[in-house]
Structure 1
Amino acid sequence: MGWTSPVNVKLANVTTSPLDEPITADQEAWIGSLLTVGAIFGPFIGGFAAAKVGRKWGLLSSSIPLLVGWVLVAAATSVAFLYAARIAWGVGVGMLFTISPMYCAEIATDDVRGALGSFLQLFITFGFLLVYGIGPFVSYDVIAYVGVAFVICFDLAFFFMPESPTYHLIKNDKESAAECLMTIRGRSRAGVQAELDKMSAEISASMEKTATIMDVFHGANFKAFYISCALVFFQQFSGINAVLFYMTSIFDAAGAGIDSAYATIIIGAVQVVASGITPIVVDRLGRRILLMISSCGAAVGLGLLGMYFLLSAVESSVLPSIGFLPILALVLFILTYCWGLGPLPWAVMGELMATEVKAVAAPMATAVCWTLSFLVTRYYGPIASAVGLYTAFWIFGICCVVAFFFSMIVVPETKGKSLQEIQDILAGKSSKSEKA
């Protein structure tokens, strides 16, 4: 996902590019945005795999399009190879973003489910930092080899992980579910029996009828779906992917007094640190308050960034004295984005959606996310050129302001609640914890 930031610079220079000629601005926009096109279709493949072969094997199968993408990148002799690679990567990313929150929500206990769901964003930021850290200083080919190595490491490590107990219970295989739960909890059969019985009863109740697409648009299911879609809308229209995909270009355009390669490393490090905070505090503070803090901070950061580029456009005399502002604004934006808008839409999606509709609804919501991401990444450049970078960042900032009020008014708090209690809240019933 962060590959384009250092690689676009290499592709623009014929001496560092594997292609015969430098890429054009339009080709750069397509290279950035085609990952999101593949990611629109990936969730449906991932949802099908999760339902048919399980969460574990669904996640392992995502490595196929990821490896195909890296091989195409390594073998690229024309921009068509890069287009195909980005689409392949997108399919793999779409599968991962669908199945990973599902798997995390299903193996976690109620008190750590938010933290575990937040790890998705944390490890994404490690990936960004890796490519920001090595990308400017190694060859184009070395980046591809590192990518292949990480996919292989994932396959070798995750092969030994257990399946989700929920998947086995859905398939009416209680013994396999017990084995998985014993492995995950590190307890004996007697130690997990109470939890297993509770999970089995909840799933039996929820699986009384087979879920269809139409079930997603009724009652509590629809409320969970539209909240999930709204959260991924705000996530994408915070402008995060435009910032991350084109970060090097933004620093170059800002003319900040620091090499863009080092500036992106600073931002990547901030992402990792900020994303490491969320798993620690999310089950203490709750989802809603973190979403509100995140959207507020992101709006301020984007506002400052827009102000800098407005002053740049009018050639203000104060510009030389505020060369630090783009980095400060981006640090604030990334820091607060990683506290809430980044990880929590995925964690909340895994919590809100009922078990019987999750395999249908989660791919739809994830596809909505990546459709929005395509629109942002593909048209950010042309729109910024037409109306100015400052206008583009202010539009993103306004979306973050709306996200603040949506989180405050509409998003239910799921901290410490069981999946069944969350469904009761969505259906307008009082949960046990609320009664207490």
Structure 2
Amino acid sequence: MAIEKDMEQTGNTIQDDMVAPLIAQDAKGKENHFMVYLSTFVAVCGSYALGSCGGYSSPTQSAIREDLNLSLAEYSLFGSILTFGAMIGAIASGPLADFFGRKGALRIASAFCAAGWLAIHFAQGPLPLDIGRLANGFGMGVFSYVVPVFIAEMAPKDSRGVLTAAHQLMICTGVSVAFIIGTVLTWRTLALTGLIPCAVLFVGLFFIPESPRWLAKIGKQKEFEASLRKLRGKDADVSAEADEIQDYIETLQKLPKAKLFDLFQRRYLRSVTIGVGLMVCQQFGGINGISFYTSSIFESAGFPADIGTIIYAILQVIITVLNALYVDKAGRKPLILVSGAGLVIGCLLTAISFYLKTYEIGLDAAPALALTGILVFVGSFSAGMGAVPWIMMSEIFPINIKGAAGSLAALTNWFGAWALSFTFNFLFSWSSYGIFLLYAAVNLAGILFIIVMVPETKGRSLEQIQAAINA
């Protein structure tokens, strides 16, 4: 009996020893998820603010022109100056994030956006309106780079993709919400709603840690360890991850500080080519030309513009949510390849629609083909090409060139946004179907670039990705 009792106690002890770590792991997992999710939520308030800025001009055009007696040219300047501000912000984003930290750069961007919204709200003429819009654009340019980088540098490698994809999701949400509530609010009141995400971001930054990788880079060892432990949980063993980050930082510290022209050195060339190339694929495939002028495209094709735009907005958000959920499961490269193929198909369907309309062949089918083509295009873009380039941009650059390279990639993105939105009407007037054939060719070239140049980064630490790219 005594032996049986001892065996029973021993068995219970072994069972307890086996169960205890599982309970501890579960508890640590919850702690990890809480702080990482909170930090991500705070960061993507900047993404939402970015979307709010981008979506503001569409529902307010007639009201602003009427209230302030603006000409079409004056309002066009108000709309387009946003992308110029974003290009300036993109150039400044890397140096700001490197000098002031990721949180410091987000605070600066938030302050610029808030000041811009106030200038627009109180504007009595075109000058303060344009100054406010320019300030909004600067904040957008900084947000577009710093938010995904900040999330990528603090997220665990297994959930980095889905968390970084929240950046694109919140941009889409900000655009959609601005468009919808802009139909019921005055343009001045709508400008005030843009202050809300800025305020949430500014306050929330006081409750989340700084990027541990940035802290390690500038030599703040105690703060680095405290930040990593806060993100992973106070009882979590962060020694292995900390050592990996620290070893990589020490290797990089031996290299000279990178400047813009240093990005084209051989050891950085592949990562810079991938980052900038993905932004070219994302922007020059036609997204901003199509999204800026969706209503006029539907009208030209003979489809009701309001219905088409509503379907467009809903589909964009739904597909972006699905992309965020599956980017860590499906992988980055498969998603953008499938997305690129869908972009080609969408452009070809739309081109066929306008070809039929131009030559008056099968006119009854043209509107349905245009709707199908545009929806296939936006659905495909939201499925991969919208979010994945930003995710990979935050992953592939070595930390010592991340500021300069990130600025170059973001500048490329915003220049593409300006170029496509500026040239669309001219190209559409030149050939209503030829422009979509041109976009299809660009997207096909993008698929070839992705197959040849872009690596898979799913499930790898940022340090492992660098080792693979530079192998």
Give yes or no for TM over 0.5. Answer: yes
- Read off the aligned partner of 1:146 and give its amino acid letter: T
In the alignment, which residue of structure 2 is the partner of 1:432? none
Q: Which amino acid aligns with 1:410?
A: M
Q: Secondary structure at the match of 2:458?
A: coil
- SS of 1:18's partner is helix
Describe the superposition over 1:344-387 as per-residue Cα deviations: whole angstroms up to 9, x where unpaired: 111111111011111121111211221222111122222322x1
Counterpart in the other structure of 2:297 = 250
Q: Which residue of 1 aligns with 2:67?
A: 18
- Give the Å deviation of 1:140: 1.9
Match of 2:35 in 1: none
The 8 Å contact of residues 36 and 370 in structure 1, kept in 2 or not, is answered as yes
Q: 1 CA distance for matches of 2:109 and 2:53? A: 18
Match of 2:257 among 189, 211, 224: 211
Q: Which amino acid aligns with 2:244?
A: K
The SS at the match of 1:415 is: coil
Give secondary structure in 2 for the equivalent of 1:323.
helix
Q: Report SS of the residue matched to 2:226.
A: helix
CA, structure 1 residues 353+7, in 2 after alignment: closer, same or farther (shift >3 Å)? closer
Local SS of the residue matching 2:207: coil
**Does 2:318 match 1:273?**
yes
Partner of 2:284: 237
Q: Does 1:194 align with 2:240?
A: yes
Residue-by-residue CA offset, 1:381-412 (whole Å, 9 max, x unaligned): 22322x13322222112111111111112111
Measured at CA, do residues 155 and 312 of structure 1 come closer, stay the same or move farther in structure 2, by a change above 3 Å? farther
Is the aligned partner of 1:156 residue 2:156?
no
What amino acid is the match of 1:276?
A: V
Q: Distance in 1 between matches of 2:140 and 2:446?
A: 25
- Contact kept? 2:172, 2:316, Cα under 8 Å: yes
Contact 1:20–1:77 (8 Å) recurs in 2: no
Aligned residue for 2:42? none
- Alignment match, 1:433: none
Q: CA shift at 1:83, angstroms?
A: 3.2
CA apart distance, 1:68: 2.4
Q: 1:178 to 1:266 in 2, by over 3 A?
A: same
Aligned partner of 2:350: which letter?
L
CA–CA separation in structure 2 for the residues paired with 1:272 and 1:11: 24
The structural deviation recorded for 1:8 is 4.4
What CA distance in whole angstroms lies between the structure 2 residues aligned with 1:311 and 1:221? 48
Structure 1 SS opposite 2:183:
helix
Q: How far is 1:13 from its partner?
A: 6.2
* Structure-2 separation of matches of 1:30 and 1:319: 37
Corresponding residue for 1:434? none
**Matches for 1:34-433 after TM superposition, within 5 Å:** 34-188=81-235, 191-213=237-259, 214-257=261-304, 260-316=305-361, 318-385=362-429, 387-427=430-470, 429=471
Residues 227-270 of structure 1: CA deviation (Å, up to 9, x unaligned): 1111101111121112222223333333313xx34432321221
1:210 CA displacement: 3.4
Conserved 8 A contact 1:2-1:244: no
Report if aligned partners of 2:55, 2:174 keep a CA contact under 8 Å in 1.
Answer: no
- Do the aligned partners of 1:287 and 1:344 also contact (CA within 8 Å) in 2? yes
Q: Secondary structure of the residue that 1:136 maps to in structure 2? A: coil
Deviates more, 1:367-376 or 1:1-10: 1-10
In structure 1, C-alpha distance between the alignment counterparts of 2:192 and 2:312, rounded to whole Å: 24
Check the 8 A contact 2:56/2:175 in 1, yes or no: no
Once residues 80 and 434 of structure 2 are traced to their aligned partners in structure 1, the CA distance between those partners, rounded to angstroms, is 21
> Contact 1:30–1:378 at 8 Å: present in 2 too?
no
Deviation at 1:81, TM superposition (A): 3.8
Structure 1 residue runs of 5 or longer lacking an equivalent are 430-436
One-letter code aligned to 2:69 = D
Alignment CA distance shift 1:262-1:17 (3 Å): farther
After superposition, the C-alpha distances for 1:91-148 in whole angstroms (9 at most, x for unaligned) are 1111011211221221122222222221111111111210222223332223212212
Q: In percent, how many aligned pairs have the same letter? A: 28
Moved more, 371-380 or 162-171: 371-380
Amino acid at match of 2:308: A
In the alignment, the residues of structure 1 paired with residue 346 and residue 442 of structure 2 have an alpha-carbon distance, to the nearest angstrom, of 13
Maintained 8 Å contact 1:7/1:135: no
* Distance in structure 2 (CA, Å) of the matches to 1:356 and 1:339: 31
User: Quick one: which amino acid aligns to residue 396 of structure 1?
Assistant: Y
> Which has the larger displacement, 348-357 or 275-284?
275-284
Secondary structure of the 2:394 match is helix
How many pairs align? 420
Larger helix share, 1 or 2: 2
| Paired amino acid for 1:357 | I
TM-score (norm 1): 0.89
Q: Which moved more, 1:233-242 or 1:215-224?
A: 215-224
Deviations 1:26-66 (A, max 9, x none): 55554443222111111232212211111012112101221
TM-score calculated relative to the size of structure 2: 0.83
- 1:352 corresponds to which letter in structure 2? I
User: Is the CA contact (8 Å cut-off) linking 2:343 and 2:381 kept in structure 1?
Assistant: yes
Post-superposition offset of 1:421: 2.3
User: In 1, Cα distance between the equivalents of 2:218 and 2:331?
Assistant: 33
Amino acid at match of 2:264: F
How far, CA to CA, are the matches of 2:337 and 2:428 in structure 1? 27
Q: Structure 1 311/34 Cα, relative in aligned 2: closer, same or farther at 3 Å?
A: farther
Taking a change above 3 Å as real, the CA distance of residues 142 and 389 of structure 1, as seen in their structure-2 partners, is farther
- Residue 192 of structure 1: how far off its partner (Å): 1.8
CA contact (8 A) 1:101 1:347 kept: yes
Q: Distance in 2 between matches of 1:244 and 1:30?
A: 18
Please say which structure displays the higher CA radius of gyration.
2
User: 1:190-215: CA deviations, max 9, x gaps?
Assistant: 52222222211211112223322243
